[in-house]
C-alpha cells in the first residue's frame, strides 16, 4: 500500500512521493507506517466491508477493538465477529493471494490474556499485523509478550505487540519512574516484537476527573503532559517509536485556522511522537497529511547523514546551522518518515494535500 496514492496532482504536491510498504515490510519501516490508526469496535456487523471502505478513503491502519469500545455483555459476540472476519479473509486469500494487498495494516486491541490466547488458537489471523495490549504494566506486559513470542516462534510468524501505557502506576508521581523503568525492561526483552508504544490519555485524564474540551489539546492538561514528558524521556532515547494520544472530538467541517486536532498533532510531532489514534474517518487524512515531511527538513536530514564532516554545516535554506552529531538521530528518523509519508514540495503543505484529497472524494 502507499499513502495518498489516489490524488491526481501528486507531482505538484510532493518533492518525494510516498513509497510502498506492506504487511511483510521490515519492522523499521512499519514503525513509521502506522500514521492515523482508526479504531473500530469489534462488534460491527459488516467489519470487512467497513475495513475496505475506510481503506479506500485513506485509512491504512485500522484497529479492531474488543476492550473499552465494547460492552461487557457483547464481548463474546465481538470475539466471534472478529474470528469470523479473519476466516473470511483466509478464504479470500486462498482464492486470490493478492487480496491481502487490498487490506490496511490491522491490529486487534484485546481485553486480557485469555482473550489473546483464544484469538490465537481459533483463527489463523491471516492479514493481521499485531495486537494492542491495554492497561500495560510490567507484570501483565511480560505475560502478553511471552504468549506472543511463543506463538510467533511456534508458527514462524511475526505478529507485533503495541503496549498502551495508561495505568495509575504510570501516571501517579510516586510510582511513575519505577514503573516506567520496569516496563522498559520488559519491552527491551521483546524489542523485536514492539512496533510502537501508545499512550492512554483518556484513562490518564479519567483518573483525575479530567476531560479536555474541544478547545484544548492534551498538552493543556498539565498532569497528563507531565506524564507524556516522562514516557518520552524513558523510551525515546532508545529509539522506541511512541504514538500520539487519541483525540476524542471530531468536526465534519475542516477549519485550518481553528482546528485543535491539527494543533495537537503538530505538538505530537514537535515532541517526537509518530502516528496518532483516531476515532472517526474524518480525522484520518488530517493526521496523515501532517505526517508528511517538509522539503526543508528532508534536505537538512539528507545533508546531515551524507556529510563527511563531524562539525557544523550550513543549511541549504541559509536559515540555520546543522550540527552533525546532535542532529544525527533526528535526521535518520526524518528520512525514515520521508520514505513512508513522502516529502512536500516547497510551498506545499497539509492544506493543499487535504484539498486535493477532498476534491477527489467528493466529486
Give the tens place of pLDDT for each residue, 177-234.
Answer: 999 999 999 999 999 999 999 999 999 999 999 999 999 999 999 999 999 999 999 9
Same domain, 136 and 126: yes
State the total domains in the chain.
2
Shared-domain flag, residues 82 and 188: yes
pLDDT value, residue 362: 47
Same domain, 64 and 176: yes
For the residues 44-54, what does the mean pLDDT come to?
A: 94
| 63/209 same-domain check | yes
In which residue are the cell numbers 478513503 written?
Answer: 57
> Can you tell me the mean pLDDT for 348-362?
83
Q: How far, in Å, CA of 10 to CA of 353, rounded?
A: 8
Q: Do 124 and 186 share a domain, yes or no?
A: yes
Domain boundary among 291, 311, 337: 291
Instruction: Please tell me whether residues 98 and 174 are part of one structural domain.
Output: yes
Say yes or no: 246 and 359 in one domain.
Answer: no
18-39 per-position pLDDT tens digit? 999 999 999 999 999 999 999 9
Residue 135 falls in which region: left (phi positive, over 0), alpha (psi -120 to 50) or beta: left
Q: Are residues 192 and 321 in the same domain?
A: no
User: What is the C-alpha to C-alpha distance for residues 29 and 167, in angstroms, rounded to an integer?
Assistant: 29
pLDDT value at residue 363: 44
> What CATH number does residue 214 fall under?
3.20.20.60
Q: Is 118 in the same domain as 45?
A: yes
Spatial CB neighbours of 277, under 8 Å, sequence gap ≥ 6: 37, 39, 63, 198, 243, 244, 245, 246
Give every CB contact of residue 332 below 8 A, 6+ residues apart in sequence. 301, 305
Q: Mean pLDDT, the chain, as a whole number?
A: 93
> Could you say which of 291, 306, 321 is where a domain stops?
291
Q: Are residues 75 and 129 in the same domain?
A: yes
Domain's final residue, options 238, 266, 291: 291
Q: Which residues constitute the domain of residue 331?
A: 1-18+293-363
Phi and psi dihedrals of 63, rounded to 5? -110, 130
Amino acid at each position: 500500500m502507499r499513502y495518498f496514492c489516489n490524488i491526481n496532482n501528486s507531482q505538484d504536491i510532493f518533492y518525494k512521493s510516498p513509497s510502498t510498504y506492506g504487511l511483510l515490510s521490515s519492522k523499521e519501516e512499519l514503525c513509521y507506517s502506522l500514521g492515523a490508526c482508526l479504531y473500530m469496535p469489534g462488534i460491527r456487523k459488516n467489519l470487512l466491508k467497513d475495513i475496505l471502505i475506510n481503506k479506500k478513503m485513506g485509512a491504512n491502519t485500522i484497529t479492531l477493538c474488543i476492550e473499552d469500545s465494547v460492552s461487557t455483555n457483547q464481548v463474546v459476540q465481538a470475539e466471534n465477529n472478529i474470528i469470523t472476519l479473519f476466516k473470511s479473509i483466509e478464504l479470500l486469500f486462498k482464492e486470490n493471494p493478492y487480496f491481502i494487498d487490498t487490506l490496511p495494516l490491522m491490529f486487534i486491541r484485546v481485553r486480557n490474556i485469555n482473550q489473546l490466547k483464544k484469538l490465537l488458537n481459533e483463527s489463523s489471523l491471516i492479514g493481521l499485523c499485531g495486537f494492542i495490549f491495554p492497561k500495560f504494566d510490567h507484570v501483565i506486559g511480560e505475560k502478553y509478550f511471552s504468549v506472543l513470542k511463543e506463538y510467533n516462534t511456534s508458527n514462524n510468524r511475526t505478529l507485533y505487540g503495541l503496549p498502551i501505557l495508561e495505568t495509575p502506576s504510570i501516571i501517579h508521581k510516586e510510582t511513575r519512574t519505577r514503573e516506567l523503568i520496569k516496563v522498559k525492561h520488559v519491552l527491551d526483552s521483546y524489542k523485536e516484537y514492539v512496533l510502537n508504544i501508545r499512550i492512554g490519555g483518556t484513562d490518564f485524564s479519567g483518573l483525575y476527573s479530567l476531560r479536555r474540551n474541544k478547545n484544548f489539546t492534551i498538552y493543556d492538561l498539565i498532569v497528563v503532559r507531565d506524564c507524556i514528558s516522562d514516557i518520552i524521556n524513558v523510551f525515546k532515547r532508545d529509539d522506541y517509536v511512541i504514538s500520539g494520544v487519541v483525540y476524542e472530538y471530531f468536526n465534519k467541517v475542516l477549519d485550518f485556522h481553528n482546528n485543535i486536532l491539527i494543533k495537537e498533532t503538530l505538538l505530537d510531532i514537535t515532541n517526537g511522537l509518530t502516528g496518532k489514534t483516531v476515532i472517526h474517518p474524518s480525522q484520518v487524512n488530517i493526521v496523515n497529511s501532517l505526517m508528511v515531511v517538509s522539503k526543508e527538513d528532508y534536505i537538512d536530514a539528507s545533508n546531515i547523514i551524507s556529510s563527511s564532516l563531524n562539525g557544523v554545516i550550513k543549511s541549504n535554506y541559509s536559515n540555520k546551522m546543522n550540527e552533525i552529531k546532535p542532529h544525527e538521530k533526528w535526521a535518520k528518523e526524518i528520512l525514515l518518515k520521508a520514505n513512508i509519508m513522502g516529502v512536500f514540495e516547497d510551498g506545499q503543505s497539509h492544506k493543499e494535500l487535504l484539498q486535493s484529497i477532498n476534491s477527489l472524494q467528493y466529486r
